[in-house]
Structure 1
Amino acid sequence: MNISGNTIFIPGATSGIGLALALALRDRGNTVIVGGRRTDRLEAIAAEHPDLGTVRIDTADAGSIEDAARTVLAEHPSLNVLVTMAGIMRTEDWRTPDGFLATAEEIVTTNVLGPIRLIAAFVEHLRRMPDATIMTVSSGLAFAPLRVTPTYNASKAAIHMLSESLRLQFEGSSVSVIELEPPAVRTDLMPGHAENDAAMPLDEFIAEVMTLLETRPDASEVQVERVKFLRYGEARGDYAQVVAALNSTDPHGK
């Protein structure tokens, strides 16, 4: 992925990693459109950052995705990068009757169906572009599970394998597939997450991501150093120790 000169749509970018990444990409000379459900947040972003485009989108709603795609492509026909940022993280206890199913279904709808529907809405347009990128967003928890977030872990593992598979299908085409794999980052993804001392400061995470995008434009996975502990536990042969450490020290890991 080239670091500048793109037209980029980032649904789920009204706060946290999404908004910080949008601003960093804008500062590198890209046209960036952010999407989100809350119109008040979109209006505030437009007022504070008038050079960012905004569009309302609910990635848990198939119709909303289709409407937003039509709007974005009509207003920005040069769009060549889609970042499927939107996602939710919830705790669940599968030992409690009726204590997890609705939450699990919500997570799958947003974290798995959302990216699938987003890619489906934009893929034909992206395939017509001479240089296009789909950036998916998984997590370190795709590779090592946090006990209290089973469906979130599974949803991010699904995104990892989806990314791997799409990369194979688009091989040799103008579309590249990049997977961003955050560790725990200090955002409001979950209550108390922004104050979690074990999580990576957001500005440090974004700075390292931008450096990786700039210095490794052909990378298929964007991994800051702190996520590699989770990402490569199985390959190193210390997976059990990684899982034990994760679940003893970071109850709100990403």
Structure 2
Amino acid sequence: MKTTQNTILITGGSAGIGFEIAKLFSEQDNHVIIVGRDEERLAKAAAKLKKVTPLVGDVSKDEEVETLVKILYNDFPNLNVVINNAGSAFLNNLLETDRTFEKAQEEMLTNYLSVIRLNEKLLPLLTKQPEAAIVNVSSIVAFAPNFVLPTYGASKAALHSYTQSLRLSLSKTPVKVFELMPPLVNTDFSQAIGGANGISPLVVAEDLLKAFENNTYEIHVGRTAEFYKLFHHSPDEALLAMNPAFQS
């Protein structure tokens, strides 16, 4: 996959992983379109980037997706990369009844169903390009869940499965399908779950750039690479490694 002269849409592009991807790829002579819900934060992010277009929108809301898609088709007919990075996560104790369903519903809509909807609407545009890519940002917990994030892990496992099917379905088209699988990353998004102990979001962005260069479609960032090997060796051991509180 080429790494320059792309037109790249990044959802959740105003902060964290999305912002670092936008920054790195804009420095590689790509035009980046960053999408976010917070207009003020989006404007501040755009001011720090080269070759950027900020668009306010919430990918979990159908009417806002429709508006976004119309803008993309009308103003960016050369769009050839879609990075589905917007996410939602909650600490969620399954033994309590503190909005468990409500939290899971938001996570599943944002992390999984909204990705399917946006991809579906943009595929006709992507398949017209000489070369194109879809990047779905999932997680290490797509392989084995952490019990404090059970429904978040389930949404990422669903995204992982969908991404594999999408890759197969598009294998004879110009559209390449990548899955970016970071471990814990130090962002504002992750602070409630110990994000300060995570890796830099810049590492995630750099690994995506390398994956584009090498056509590495499943990108195991940082600890995810080691964990993936453990998961295939022993799923039970991987589950305990992800949940050390339950080790005897």
Give the TM-score category using the shorter length. over 0.9
Is the partner of 2:161 in helix, strand or coil? helix
Q: What is residue 218 of structure 2 aligned with on the other side?
A: 221
> Which one-letter code corresponds to 2:57 in the other structure?
I
| Map of 1:143 onto structure 2 | 143
Q: Offset at 1:81?
A: 0.6
> What are the Cα deviations for residues 137-191 of structure 1, in whole angstroms up to 9, with x where unaligned?
1111000110011111011111111111011111111111111111111112233
Cα gap change, 1:127/1:235 in structure 2, threshold over 3 Å: closer, same or farther? Answer: same
CA contact (8 A) 1:186 1:193 kept: no
- Secondary structure at the residue paired with 1:48? coil
Residues 205 and 171 of structure 1, relative CA distance in 2, 3 Å threshold: closer
**Offset, 1:5:** 1.5
TM-score computed with the length of structure 1 as normaliser = 0.90
Contact 1:83-1:135 within 8 A present in 2 as well: yes
Q: CA deviation at 1:193?
A: 4.9
Query: Per the alignment, do residues 148 and 124 of structure 1 end up closer, same or farther by CA in structure 2, a change over 3 Å counting?
Result: same
Question: Corresponding residue for 1:40?
Answer: 40
Residue 148 of structure 1 aligns to a residue in which SS? coil
Compared with structure 1, are the counterparts of its residues 193 and 213 closer, same or farther at alpha carbon in structure 2 (3 Å cutoff)? Answer: farther
RMSD: 1.7
Which residue of structure 1 aligns with residue 76 of structure 2? 76
**Aligned 8 A contact 2:30 2:51 in 1:** no
- Aligned residue identity for 1:52: V
| Gap change, CA 1:118 and 1:43, over 3 Å in 2 | same
5+ residue gaps in structure 1?
A: 250-254
| Structure 2 residue 208 is the aligned partner of structure 1 residue 209 | yes
Match of 2:243 among 244, 247, 252: 247
How many Å apart are 1:45 and its aligned residue? 2.2
Question: 2:230: which partner in 1?
Answer: 233
Alignment check: 8 A CA contact 1:233 1:242 kept:
yes
- 2:51 and 2:126 map into 1 onto residues whose CA distance is 23
What is the CA-CA distance between 1:52 and the residue it aligns to? 1.1
Cα deviation, residue 67, structure 1? 0.6
User: For the Cα contact (< 8 Å) 2:140–2:183, is it kept in 1?
Assistant: yes
Q: Map 1:90-239 onto structure 2 (within 5 A).
A: 90-193=90-193, 195-197=195-197, 199-214=198-213, 216=214, 218-237=215-234, 239=235
Query: What residue number does 1:252 align with?
Result: none
Q: 25-34 vs 202-211, which deviates more?
A: 202-211
- Tell me the secondary structure at the aligned position of residue 95 of structure 2: coil
- Quote the Cα distance in structure 2 between the aligned partners of 1:167 and 1:195: 30
CA contact (8 A) 2:146 2:243 kept: yes
Q: Could you tell me whether the CA contact under 8 Å between 2:26 and 2:49 is conserved in 1?
A: no
Contact 2:17-2:202 at 8 Å conserved across structures: no
Cα offset, 1:220, TM superposition: 1.6
- Residue in 2 aligned with 1:14? 14
Identity of paired residues, percent?
31
Cα distance in 2 between the residues matched to 1:195 and 1:109: 23
The count of aligned residue pairs is 245
SS at match of 2:71: helix
TM score, norm. by length of structure 2: 0.92
